[in-house]
Amino acid sequence: MDPEQLTALAAEIRDFLVQQVSVRGGHLGPNLGVVELTLALHRVFDSPADPIVFDTGHQAYVHKIVTGRSDGFGALRTRGGLSGYPSREESVHDWVENSHASTSLSYADGLAKAFAVRGERNRTVVGVIGDGAMTGGMAWEALNNIAAAKDRPVVIVLNDNGRSYAPTTGGMAQRMAALRLKPGYERLLDQVKHTLPKAPVVGGPMYSALHAMKTAVKDWLLPPVMFADLGLKYLGPIDGHDIAELEQALRRAKGFRGPVLVHVLTRKGQGYPPAENDDLEQMHSPPAFDPLTGRPVAVPTATWTGVFSHELVRAGRDRDDLVAITAAMSGPTGLDAFAAEFPDRFHDVGIAEQHALTSAAGLAMGGVHPVVALYATFLNRAFDQLLMDAALHRLGVTVVLDRAGVTGEDGPSHHGMWDLSLAALVPGLSAAAPRDGQLLAELFAEAIAVEDGPTLLRYPKGAVPEPIPAVRRIVADEDRLVPAAGGVGSVDVLAEPAAGQEHDVLLVAVGAFAGAAMDAAARLADQGIGVTVVDPRWALPVPTALPLLAAQHRLVVTLEDGGRQGGVGAAVTDLLTDRVPGVPVTVLALPQEFLEAASRGDLLTDLGLTAQAVARRITETVARTFPQSREHTGGSGQDVPERRAAGEG
């Protein structure tokens, strides 16, 4: 294509993106910003022979379009449709499912080393890193290794838009901003380079002097000399919306046959006024919206994130020792309101979850109480710091996890299903899962009151359900159950068998599954099975009230949207095996698998975690576990247990 055709194509792609993403939402702003860059990449490099790894992968929509997948955008981020990230199952052009940030350069380093071992010297690996991903420590570890091999062709494209979700923070970001303020200096000096040496007598010496001046300017601005000191050739800054300039820089980088960093300046949301004018996020990841106005089409509802945000601000007003930390996601995790009211007590550390947790440990050591707000899936990255830096030192650090459990359309890397399994491994950690907004407020207040160990609070994505009141709240007092006001160890009884029904099943519902458990209990009551529904509130460690409750029932069933291995159900099973060995436990949880992208409702249906499926599973388990005590109930078609004789285990 000639320049005019390329310009027209870029405009068509932007219009296509707006129309398609508006239907059900997705990562719009980042992709509007990389249209010209992606076109230039595919004109210069030979994908897939030259791997192009996007970091994070939410910048890869345009890459999907130009590699033949535009017809699939009608099903973007749906079951069986296009992933919102690169996907090896979709195309040979997608080398990694890269949705956790700051990993592309490590992938690129490994790929380049593999090609060298295989003698494939004509292949170039391209790592496109941006949207704040360069703030992650892993990227710098990879840079250190990439720069050490002078003859391995790795092209690092730094897509510098100054943002992740929100403006990027930190010293590195400030230095990059300095370069963005002078985007024309490299182009001017290149013109001098081509013309001044031709001048008679003075041309050569004057060019040498100006070249030295150029180096001094770069030294003053820092990033170029920093990359050069690592051993990387630096090109830039380049106008990321000028395809011709991009191509020229990328061809130079490809021809160098060694590690090169190409610094590209782009604007997130480019070409779509509603995104350009969205100062908060540049429409980073909007829900479904009106393409003409950019405004969401759904009516706003109360969300878990919103409830937490309100409670955090309220707590901040009461306690001047409360500090909030996030890893480049202040808006999505609900910290913006706290940051606005208490800017001196808010810290965005960039895409650096490991640093966030250890910095929080330092804050706790220093006498304040940190609240670290993350997506549940990103706690995986900071497990060592939670274990060895916070828990080992018995520090009062509160970790709040948004998007816990099955999250839906973002797919396997974003389901927040590993946190409870990880939390169960941490000595001294207490983990809570609220069932509704009222309990979220209670549990958060209890969490930040704990100063002798880490606390974890997790809740799902989406709207807050209607409150579910407790019938009573109890706690274990040695071998008795007594009323409780709250706190770690207390348990909410949400439902009990009706008069005349036995206590057949103890159904332990973790967090947002309380509603499904209540529905299942009602269904089972209709079948003659008496069910007690309890919410453990603080699910880990398992409240000591549960063994006492379990001893009053024939079967215990746990229900959670965490992993089956190592989660709450596994912990309950371990405890009851020791304390109440005669009562079997059935664990209903997520399989230890990478779940596909689909709506939360569809996935829970598939996994048998709806109220109807839970009731059916319990009925089958009762019938299978106690076959000697079955009777047929008239009209129900279901086998139910006979009532227990006194003292029966």
Q: Which residues are part of the catalytic machinery?
A: 268, 353, 381
**Residue 416 DSSP symbol:** B
The DSSP-derived string for 145-202 is: HHTT-TTS-EEEEEEE-SBSSSB--SHHHHHHHHHHT-TTHHHHHHHHHHHGGGSTTT
DSSP reduced 3-state for 17: helix
What is the C-alpha separation between 580 and 416, in angstroms, rounded? 31
Bridge partner list, 443:
none
**List of long-range contacts for 630-637, beta carbons under 8 Å, 24+ apart:** 633/527, 633/528, 636/526, 636/527, 636/528
What radius of gyration do the chain's Cα atoms show? 28
Question: Could you give the C-alpha distances from 168 to 136, 162, 507, in angstroms and in order?
Answer: 11, 5, 46
Taking each continuous run of H as one helix and of E as one strand, the counts in the chain are 24, 21
* H-helix or E-strand spanning residue 273: helix 273-276
Distance between terminal CA atoms of the chain? 79
Listed residue (536, 604, 542, 585) closest to 567, CA to CA: 542
Q: What tokens were used for 434? A: 């609220």
Listed residue (287, 282, 241, 250) closest to 126, CA to CA: 250
User: In b/e form, how buried is each residue of 243-252, taking b as 16+ CB within 10 angstroms?
Assistant: bebbbbbbee
What is the C-alpha separation between 189 and 212, in angstroms, rounded? 11
DSSP reduced 3-state for 380: helix
Q: How many CB atoms lie within 10 A of CB 515?
A: 16
What is the amino acid identity at position 45?
A: F
Listed residue (450, 460, 484, 449) closest to 470, CA to CA: 484
**Residue 543 DSSP symbol:** P
